[in-house]
């Protein structure tokens, strides 16, 4: 029996188990392609199930730098490009356009793994001019997406950071992070690590529709509990909050995270840069057609009448009455459960590259 539009309905042409409805060309492509039904019934059905393809990215550097004034880090490490979680709202989707791939289905089915990430990081941290500061992970694509279970690149990166006693903060939607509770717990107790689980909904149906291959909400809550018990400071990111879609869950999300052991909570409102705007509208019309106009009207209210306002200081929180109301609700829920606004300050003073075989010992290594 078909579900009614607006109640979890999904377009029959949409690929199963994927977030994007189409494979729109990126902004650098000279041509675009459009799928049409020629009446024979084979074309549309043929791509309903898509297989994830993983290639290797042999880049020679691993630390990405930024100077954005509205985020709390200036460097990050991303073990993967593209993300199989398939979150329809993911702001990183446009980065696939630089590879000549679509920010749509290509972003979630054509993944680039960086098998040399740990080796490159070790080399970078040993550079004479390197000065330690918090390395952020999960800022672009998720370090605990499904292929990490076999690839273990994120695990290897954490092992390097632990050996160098280097601070790291990470954000993920993957409950697989609990696998690394041993490392993160040890580093957390030393003031070298913090983690945040991104939680968008406690409704399994909505969560699966927005982020089809991310861990289920209850699994993410279990991961918060596991990390907290191991000694790693852990929080919750309500990201993104989408008006008229999941913003009614703010208080329940904060309470569930606090009950699981979260010590801080933050939020980001929906942002739709570049190709993400078209992909999100397409998904919204296919999945929640009766609610689509209302959602987009309120999204534009958050961003000064546009789908997205890229200005620093406004792009993450929005502006206006609705943005202020969301921020007040998050702050009130946080206060009610005794949560901080952000994670703890991590230590930089413990940084010390471990000696390698054949290295001359320094005085620091003797005491």
Tell me the per-residue pLDDT of 294-334, one tens digit each, with 9 for 90 and over: 999 999 999 999 998 888 888 889 999 999 999 999 999 99
Look at residue 365 in the predicted model and tell me its pLDDT: 53
| Confidence (pLDDT) at 2 | 35
State mean pLDDT over 273-288: 94
Domain ranges of the chain: 65-73+120-349
In this predicted structure, what is the pLDDT of residue 59? 85
| Alpha-carbon separation of residue 318 from 74, 255, 298 (angstroms) | 22, 24, 11
> pLDDT value at position 5?
36
Instruction: Tell me the per-residue pLDDT of 88-146, one tens digit each, with 9 for 90 and over.
Output: 999 999 999 988 999 999 999 999 999 999 999 999 999 999 999 999 999 889 999 99
Q: Would you state the pLDDT for residue 32?
A: 61
pTM of the model: 0.88
Flag whether pLDDT at 11 surpasses 50: no
Q: Mean of the per-residue pLDDT values for the chain?
A: 89
What pLDDT is recorded for position 4?
40
**pLDDT of residue 6 exceeding 50:** no
Instruction: Kindly report the CATH number that applies to the domain delimited by 65-73+120-349.
Output: 3.80.30.30
């Amino acid at each position: 029996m078909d579900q009614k539009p607006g109640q979890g309905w999904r377009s029959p042409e949409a690929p199963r188990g994927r977030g994007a409805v189409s494979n729109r060309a990126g902004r650098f492509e000279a041509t675009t392609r459009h799928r049409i039904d020629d009446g024979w019934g084979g074309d549309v059905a043929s791509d309903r199930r898509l297989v994830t393809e993983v290639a290797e990215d042999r880049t020679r550097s691993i630390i990405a730098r930024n100077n954005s004034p509205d985020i709390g880090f200036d460097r990050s490490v991303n073990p993967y490009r593209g993300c199989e979680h398939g979150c329809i709202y993911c702001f990183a989707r446009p980065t696939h356009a630089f590879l000549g791939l679509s920010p749509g289905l290509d972003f979630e089915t054509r993944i680039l793994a960086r098998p040399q990430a740990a080796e490159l990081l070790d080399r970078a941290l040993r550079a004479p001019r390197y000065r330690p500061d918090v390395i952020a992970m999960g800022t672009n694509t998720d370090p605990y997406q499904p292929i990490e279970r076999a690839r273990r690149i994120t695990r290897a990166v954490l092992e390097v950071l632990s050996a160098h006693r280097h601070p790291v903060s990470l954000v993920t939607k993957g409950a697989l992070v609990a696998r690394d509770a041993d490392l993160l717990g040890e580093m957390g107790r030393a003031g070298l690590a913090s983690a945040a689980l991104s939680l968008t909904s406690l409704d399994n149906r909505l969560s699966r529709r927005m982020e089809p291959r991310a861990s289920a909400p209850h699994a993410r809550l279990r991961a918060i509990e596991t990390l907290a018990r191991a000694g790693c400071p852990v929080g919750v990111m309500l990201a993104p909050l989408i008006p008229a879609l999941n913003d009614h869950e703010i208080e329940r999300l904060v309470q569930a995270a606090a009950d699981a052991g979260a010590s801080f909570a933050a939020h980001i409102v929906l942002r739709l840069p570049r190709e993400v705007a078209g992909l999100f509208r397409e998904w919204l019309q296919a999945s929640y057609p009766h609610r689509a106009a209302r959602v987009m009207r309120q999204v534009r209210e958050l961003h000064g009448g546009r789908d997205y306002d890229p200005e620093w200081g406004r792009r993450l929180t929005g502006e206006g009455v609705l943005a202020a109301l969301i921020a007040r609700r998050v702050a009130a829920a946080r206060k009610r459960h005794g949560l901080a606004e952000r994670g703890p300050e991590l230590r930089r003073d413990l940084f010390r590259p471990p000696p390698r075989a054949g290295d001359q010992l320094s005085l620091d290594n003797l005491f």
